[in-house]
Amino acid sequence: MWRFTAFEALLGPEDYNPDVTLPVHSSGAGRNAVARNARRSSRSRPAALKGRRGCERRAEGAMWGRLCGSGRILLLAGAARHCGRPHSRTQKLFSTSSVLSATEDEPTAPADSTTKVASKEGAAETPKQKLLKMIGDMKVEVTTKRKFQQLKEQEIKKQATNKQEGLHGGSSTFQNSAEDVQRSKPLNPELVQAASAVASSFPHNKEQAESELLAQLRRHEETTDKQRRGGTINICNVISEMTVKRQSPAQRGVRISNRISLEMDEDGQRIKPGRPSSHSDSGRSLKAGKRLNIFTKASPETENALKTVSSPTIWDLEFAKEIAAVTEQPPRNGFEEMIQWTKEGILWEFPIDNEAGMDDGAEFHEHIFLEKHLKDFPKQGPIRHFMELVICGLSKNPYLSVKQKIEHIEWFRNYFEEKKEFLQEI
Amino acid sequence: MAASALCWALRVARQVLPCPSQTRSYYVDWRMLRDVKRRKLAYEYADERLRINAIRKNTILPKELQEVADREIAALPRDSCPVRIRNRCVLTSRPRGVKRRWRLSRIVFRHFADHAQMSGIQRAMW
């Protein structure tokens, strides 16, 4: 049930006491250990705690612990955690600011960060200028392996102290946890100032923007800390698992011998390895063999020769058919059967041509624009009206050929010609 | 010469070979024959009937013209109208109980289906 996670590897094997070790492992950030103890004890804890889920719960617990002080942004942070959230302006801004904050100095003194959130400084300068100044002042921190180890030791000490605290303050209340939130792991005051400046530059909802920015910062800090702690261990594990691949001397010899060919040509000259590429690809050489004349124009002589053969007589055709009928074998497999059926016309040709058998050779405009056939009709009157309707219907008919449509119109013309005297009587 | 003689012999031999399909050289009964005639006539006069009907079923043309068209269409042979065609069974000429997809009456259909001679048909069971 209990799986070893990265953090457990850090601490090593311990006496397994579910009530106590859970908070220890959950203090990945190492900040709200007591707060989380309180939370965990108050909630119902499931017996099985998988490594992956534990990370989530830890993060969630950290989030809850930090944000309980500033109650109004609880929901916002919870929503912002999901990946599928559409990028808001604040997040876009953050993508750049988080990069900058990664290069920030590590927070050293536990300052009271939450009180600073509300205060905005320096109304003399415009917020933009302030922001730019702060970004310019930010330094790049280079972390070395020594620093990592120092961090590690610090972490171990912290967790040891937290463990002791957990034993004592197992039943701490919400208020205690809130205080712990404020005390532990504060944000860099410069970052806070930058966040406030950025938020003030927004047209509306400054407070909300600021709170969101700060929440993002805190989250980022937490993730970077986690990576720092977990980074070295993971790399060590990975490298230790890797093995060096050994090449046998036989394989090496084969590779070398492939490069140097000791084959001799007919003339006594060595065949260079460059040649085989053109030979081996096609099986036969590229330059030998009959030309297909696909890309070169066939000479006019051959064309003339074909023309003189033209118009085979009926008897020749019959003879050819007889030979084909005699020599044909029953189809050996389904494919040949299908080929036979296609030739006979039983099976359609694939890919299916929608206009198979009704080519006509006519373009679409001949089907649709049929007004030119109405020249002989009177231009006014009910007959014209009627014929225009007929033409409209014919143009929409995809099943008739152009000839058939013209035949319809012709018939009407003849009909009305015959009835002309009758019509004039009316 | 010899080749053509050989071809002829082979063709005759193939024709004599027994074919498993049923072949009929006559219509089943006179009613079927009459139905066949009606179908042929209907095919011939189909266009004309369509055009004359287009004149008749109209609100634009004058009524007199439409009455003339009425008389004309009535003058056409009676068997040329498609309404007189009856979808009979192809094998037994039964006028009723004919399934359109197979053109067979229900009895013949059942007979063939039970002998597994209808492709893709099996007894329903659910």
Three-class SS state of B92: coil
Q: Return the axis-axis angle of helices A33-42 and A174-183, rounded to nearest 10°.
A: 150
B1, B6, B7: best mutation site toward chain A, by most A Cβ within 10 Å? B7
Inform me whether the C-beta atom of residue A286 falls under 8 Å from chain B C-beta atoms: no
Is A415's CB within 8 Å of B6's CB?
Answer: no
ipTM above 0.85, yes or no: no
The pTM (predicted TM-score) of the whole model is 0.40
Residue in A with minimal Cα distance to B63: A426
Considering only residues A217 and B119, tell me which one the structure prediction assigns the higher pLDDT.
B119
Answer yes or no: are the C-beta atoms of B12 and B54 closer than 8 Å. Answer: no
Max mean pLDDT among A56-60, A227-231, B21-25, B88-92 falls in B88-92
- Tell me the residues of B at the A interface, defined by beta carbons under 8 Å apart: 3-4, 6-7, 10-11, 47-48, 51, 54-55, 58, 60-62, 64-65, 68
Q: Within 10 A of A271 (CB to CB), how many other CB atoms are there?
A: 13
Three-class SS state of A69: coil
Chain B environment of A415 (Cβ under 8 Å): 51, 55
Q: Looking at this protein, which amino acid is placed at residue A75?
A: L
Nearest to A35 by CA among A155, A168, A218, A179: A179
Residue in A with minimal Cα distance to B61: A382
Res. A3 pLDDT band, cuts 50 70 90? low
Res. A125 pLDDT band, cuts 50 70 90? low
Is A325's CB within 8 Å of B6's CB?
Answer: no
Phi, psi of B98, rounded to the nearest 5 degrees: -105, 130
Chain A environment of B2 (Cβ under 8 Å): none
- Indicate whether A41 pLDDT > 50: no
What average pLDDT does the segment A324-330 reach? 92
Is B51's CB within 8 Å of A408's CB?
Answer: yes
pLDDT score recorded for residue A218: 84
pLDDT score recorded for residue A307: 56
CA distance B7 to chain A (A): 6
Rounded to whole angstroms, the Cα distance separating A199 from A100 reads 16
Least CB–CB distance from B58: residue in A325, A386, A408: A386
pLDDT score recorded for residue A216: 85
pLDDT score recorded for residue A75: 38
pLDDT score recorded for residue A105: 45
- Indicate whether A169 pLDDT > 70: no
Alpha-carbon Rg of chain A, whole angstroms?
A: 44
What average pLDDT does the segment A31-40 reach? 46
Is B55's CB within 8 Å of A415's CB?
Answer: yes
Chain B environment of A385 (Cβ under 8 Å): 60
Residues in CB range of A188: below 8 A, 6 or more apart: A101, A104, A105, A107
pLDDT score recorded for residue A294: 76
Nearest to A213 by CA among A340, A123, A116, A92: A92
Using the 8-state DSSP alphabet, how is residue B98 labeled? Answer: E
- Indicate whether A7 pLDDT > 60: no
Using the 8-state DSSP alphabet, how is residue A201 labeled? Answer: T
- Indicate whether A347 pLDDT > 50: yes
Tokens 């939450």 correspond to A114
Answer yes or no: are the C-beta atoms of A406 and A425 closer than 8 Å. Answer: no
Answer yes or no: are the C-beta atoms of A36 and A28 closer than 8 Å. Answer: no
| Residue-wise pLDDT tens digits, A83-123 | 444 455 555 554 555 444 444 444 444 444 444 444 444 44
Rounded to whole angstroms, the Cα distance separating A334 from A339 reads 9
| Residue-wise pLDDT tens digits, A390-401 | 999 999 998 898
